[in-house]
Amino acid sequence: MSANNGEMGKQALDVLSVIAALGSWLNVFTPIFGLIGATWTVMRIAEMVSGKPFHELIRRKKGSEQSEQEKL
């Protein structure tokens, strides 16, 4: 009976070890997920304010590059 209790204790520690590993993994990635969420929110706000899709806001048009070089 005592050998059975020892096995149960080992299995319980194994389960706790897996839970602890998952918890530490989530603690590492939580700030990264927060940064992704904040970036997404800023992109959506910029779209709402300008009324244009975000990729149009950050993409340069070919004509604007030439006109900027002509100004110099």
Residue 65 has pLDDT above 60, yes or no: no
Q: What is the pTM of this model?
A: 0.53
Domain range for 8 is: 2-71
Residue 9, pLDDT score: 86
Compute the distance between CA of residue 63 and CA of residue 46 in angstroms, rounded to an integer: 23
Mean pLDDT over 12-41 rounds to 91
Residue 1 has pLDDT above 60, yes or no: no
Instruction: Domain count for the chain, please give it.
Output: 1
Q: List Cβ neighbours of 31 (8 Å cut-off, separation of 6 or more).
A: none
